Amino acid sequence: MAKDYSRTQRIGDQMQRELASLIQREVKDPRLDFITITAVEVSRDLSHAKVFITVMGKDDDQDAVKVNLRILNDASGFLRMQLGKAMQLRTVPQLHFNYDASVRRGVELASLIERAVAEDRKHNEDLGD
């Protein structure tokens, strides 16, 4: 029987919680906006971790996203060291920060659906009159 929740998933979830708190408390760069960690994917051998982020209020501004990613990737060594202190792991994965565009795409799709529903309602009202 396969495991429903693997060790790498548990480590990814714990890393997500720890990184959210570490970035908020320890990264002192004034250019860093309010970011949210949406997911952490840890490789099977625990050597690498992809950390997916969104930038609150700046998802449309690609320059702001790039600056935030650069700041976080530059601080990845420091964050990795802090993770090593906080988590009980023999080796802490290398951190690779990536932008998660799924939230922005979700908002775009929701607005398209709302617009289609509104147009459909208007069309039905026009036929009913």
Q: pLDDT tens digits, residue range 32-75?
A: 888 889 999 999 998 999 999 988 876 667 888 899 999 999 99
- Architecture of the domain made up of 7-100: 2-Layer Sandwich (3.30)
**Residues in a beta bridge with 39:** 52
pLDDT of 103: 77
pLDDT band at residue 1 using 50, 70 and 90 as cut-offs:
very low
CA-to-CA dists, residue 109 to 51, 53, 56, angstroms: 24, 20, 18
Answer yes or no: are the C-beta atoms of 89 and 11 closer than 8 Å.
yes
* pLDDT tens-digit map of 23-42: 988 888 888 888 889 999 99
Where is 7: in which H helix or E strand? helix 7-26
pTM: 0.77
